[in-house]
Each structure stands twice: as structure tokens, then as C-alpha cells.
Amino acid sequence: MATQDITVVTTEDLAHESASGMPQLNVETFPNQIFWLLIALVAIYYILSRIALPRIAAVLAERQGTITNDLAAAEELKLKATEAEKAYDKALADARAEAQRIAAEAKAEIQGDLDKAIADADAEIAERSAESEKRIAEIREGAMQSVEIVAKDTAEAIVAALGGAADAATVNAAVDARLKRGAA
């Protein structure tokens, strides 16, 4: 009989438990559940505030420090790059100015050499021209003397051929007068 009671009690307990539903929703266990909830919240708060949050704060501070250092280094590098760019621009401008100065000097030197060469050529041309004029004048003078001699000889021969007698002084005066009229 005792075994039968145990079975009946067990069956009654099963019937009672099935009627009440989920144990978490049983109003009779609420104070016990609220107590353990508060204990769990306090434990989580203690663990987070003493262990996890200081570690997280340290990592965040370290990251912030790294970011700040990197930004400062980047700003410094940016300033150096700007200074380097200014130095490059100045060097480029100086190089251009130096190149223009060298080109101007070379141009002036070439122009001076050219002017000297032109002056030398002009002087040589003038010298040769004067020499040629002198030779032409000498040739003309020689030709005029030859023409005068030939003209006098020819005049004497013509007068003699025509049967006239002419002295040399008259023939010379007539030829000289004719040559002077022809030259004028």
C-alpha cells in the first residue's frame, strides 16, 4: 500500500505541476527569482566596473593616444612637405633664372663675336675696295696715257698722210684739248 500512495502522490504532483504552467511564471517563486536577479545584476556590475570597464577604458585611451600621435606626425610631415615644395619651387625658379642669364650671356657673346666678324669683314671689304679703286684708277690713268700717246701718234700720222706738216707741239695741244672736252 505504501507504494501505491507514492505513485498516487507522484501522479497528483504531476497533475498540479501541469496545471500551474512554466515555473518561471509561477507567482509563488517571484520573490526568489527577484532576489537572484538582483544578486546577478550586482555581480555583473561589480565584474564590469572592476575588471572589464577599466581594461576597455585603457584600450580606448591607448587608441586615442595613438591616433593623436599619428595626427601630429601627419601634420608635421605635411608641414615638411609644404616646406620641401617651397624649396623645390624656389630652386626651380633659381635654375630658370640662371638658365636665362646663361642664355643671355651666350647670346651677347655670340652677338659680340658676330659684330666683330662683321666689322672685320667690312674692314676687309673696304680695304679691298680701296685697293681695287686704286688699281682701277692706275689702270685708267695708264689707259688714258696710252690713249693720249696713240691719239698723238695717230694725229701726226693723219696730218702727214694728208700732206700737211704739223709740228709736235700743235698736235699735242689739239689732242689735249680734244681729250679734255671728251672727259668733261
Say if 43 falls within a structural domain: no
Say if 97 falls within a structural domain: yes
Say if 90 falls within a structural domain: yes
Number of domains making up the chain: 1
AA letter at 134: K
Cell of 63: 587608441
Average pLDDT per 10 consecutive residues for the chain, totaling 184 residues: 51 56 83 94 95 92 96 95 95 95 94 93 92 91 84 81 77 80 69
Query: Rounded distance, CA 118 to CA 51, Å?
Result: 99
Say if 38 falls within a structural domain: no
Query: Rounded distance, CA 24 to CA 70, Å?
Result: 54
- Write down the pTM of the prediction: 0.40
Say if 109 falls within a structural domain: yes
pLDDT, residue 79, reads 95
Say if 40 falls within a structural domain: no
Say if 177 falls within a structural domain: yes
Q: How far is CA 171 from CA 150, 166, 181, 184, in A?
A: 12, 7, 16, 20
| Domain containing residue 79 | 51-183
pLDDT, residue 161, reads 80
